[in-house]
């Protein structure tokens, strides 16, 4: 048995440990593993010799601890309408002697995997995205590391914010899902959290801030600053999300970014000192935490088990805290967003207090 493994989409901490997990379990089963570089690109181009690497057990130690992806990533779509390369994928699988593919990625990479599976390619998937918004799984690789970076960064920024009594906007990723902002902000005890799932009024934002400042003053606090964690997809009622530029990737997505700066601009006349920082790639570029290493390893082992059992067309998911098989085509269903009525306090613009389900 020869397995190909690839990492697609944006990089995330936990990809390398997942590849290490695949290699570890495959070695135990007596299977060979080939690394397919740059996501789906490796097997959707004809000249791909430089895209292929042999992965033996000697890589496990290094891969187990590194962030990013040693196999590199790309947002290549092998089944795009404009440039469908299913035939090349099939030819390459034959040429490389591949019996199965493990695709590690998010909605796009696994969405492409589901189409390829429907066209007869034996593929299984592992969920990855710091956004934690994939249908059918409570966990995706990178989320825990990104949350830790957000929490740590908020703490660092607080030193500066406290010194200057700043209203600080810390912008985090997540695309259309507010999980990173909500759970990062919760752990950092952010004063305000703005998420894409709840479009707010600027007037309300100012009002909540004024009340908070007033309360802090009346309690005699002398170091008054406010930390606002804002998701890149958050937007004002009736307005569009703020886009970084006009480019679209192969899956038709645009990049978000800049809402923190925009809001800072709207508030700077009413408040004395306002500042903004976008965490951007710092939250993806970290050494994976214990959770992302362990989950990567488990996902890797389970993906190989699925191949061994002939369970193609599935990805490894987490549901109710258990590892389960989920049909790849489910990944194309609507993403898992924050349920505002369950998790968000629309009056305080913050995480809802007193919630008992800790799986979300």
Chain residues binding ligand F6P by CB under 6 A are 10, 106, 129-131, 173-175, 232, 255-256, 284
Q: How far is the CB of 5 from ligand F6P (least distance, A)?
A: 20
Q: How far is the CB of 289 from ligand F6P (least distance, A)?
A: 17
Q: Give the three-state DSSP class for 252.
A: coil
**Residue 24 vs 232, nearer CB to ligand F6P:** 232
**Residue 194 vs 306, nearer CB to ligand F6P:** 194
Tokens of residue 66, six digits: 């590194």
Q: How far is the CB of 105 from ligand F6P (least distance, A)?
A: 10
Contact 31, 24 (CB under 8 A): no
DSSP state, residue 39: T
Helix residue ranges, H only, the chain: 15-29, 41-44, 60-63, 86-96, 107-118, 143-164, 179-187, 202-218, 259-267, 290-308, 340-343
Q: Give the three-state DSSP class for 281.
A: helix
**Residue 29 vs 248, nearer CB to ligand F6P:** 248
Q: Exactly one of 11, 131, 191, 292 is catalytic; name it.
A: 131
**Residue 75 vs 297, nearer CB to ligand F6P:** 75
Q: Give the three-state DSSP class for 331.
A: helix
Contact 18, 297 (CB under 8 A): yes
Q: Count of residues for the chain?
A: 360
Q: How far is the CB of 140 from ligand F6P (least distance, A)?
A: 10
Determine the Cα–Cα distance for residues 289 and 14; give it in Å rounded to an integer: 8
Q: How far is the CB of 157 from ligand F6P (least distance, A)?
A: 19
Residue nearest to ligand F6P (CB): 173
Contact 48, 30 (CB under 8 A): no
**Residue 70 vs 176, nearer CB to ligand F6P:** 176
Residue 292 annotated among the catalytic residues of the structure: no
Tokens of residue 196, six digits: 């894409």
Active site residues: 131
């Amino acid at each position: 048995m020869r397995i190909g493994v690839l990492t697609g989409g944006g990089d995330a901490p936990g990809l390398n440990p997942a590849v290490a997990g695949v290699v570890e379990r495959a070695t135990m089963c007596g299977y060979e593993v080939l690394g397919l570089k740059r996501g789906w690109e490796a097997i959707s181009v004809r000249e791909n010799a430089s895209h292929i690497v042999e992965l033996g057990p000697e890589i496990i130690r290094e891969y187990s601890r590194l962030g990013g992806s040693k196999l590199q990533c790309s947002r290549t779509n092998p089944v795009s309408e404009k440039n469908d390369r299913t035939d090349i994928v099939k030819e390459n699988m034959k040429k490389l002697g591949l019996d199965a593919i493990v695709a590690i990625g998010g909605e796009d990479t696994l969405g492409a995997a589901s189409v390829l599976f429907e066209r007869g390619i034996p593929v299984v998937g592992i969920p990855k995205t710091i956004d934690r918004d994939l249908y059918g799984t409570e966990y995706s690789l990178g989320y825990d590391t990104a949350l830790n970076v957000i929490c740590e960064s908020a703490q660092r920024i607080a030193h500066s914010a406290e010194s200057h009594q700043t209203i600080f906007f810390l912008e985090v990723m997540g695309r259309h899902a507010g999980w990173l902002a909500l759970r990062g902000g919760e752990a950092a005890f952010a004063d305000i959290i703005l998420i894409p799932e709840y479009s707010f009024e600027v007037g309300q934002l100012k009002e909540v801030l004024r009340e908070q400042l007033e309360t802090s003053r009346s309690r005699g606090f002398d170091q008054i600053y406010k930390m606002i964690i804002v998701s890149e997809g958050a937007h004002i009622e009736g307005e569009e999300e703020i886009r970084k530029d006009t480019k679209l990737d192969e899956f038709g997505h645009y990049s978000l970014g800049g809402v923190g700066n925009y809001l800072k601009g709207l508030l700077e006349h009413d408040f004395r000192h306002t500042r903004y920082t976008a965490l951007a790639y710092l939250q993806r570029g970290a050494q994976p935490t214990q959770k992302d290493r362990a989950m990567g390893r488990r996902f890797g082992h389970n993906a190989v088990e699925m191949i061994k059992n002939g369970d193609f067309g599935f990805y490894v998911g987490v549901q109710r805290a258990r590892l389960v098989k989920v049909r790849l085509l489910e990944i194309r269903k609507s993403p898992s967003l924050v349920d505002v009525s369950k998790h968000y306090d629309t009056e305080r613009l913050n995480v809802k207090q007193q919630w008992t389900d800790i799986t979300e």
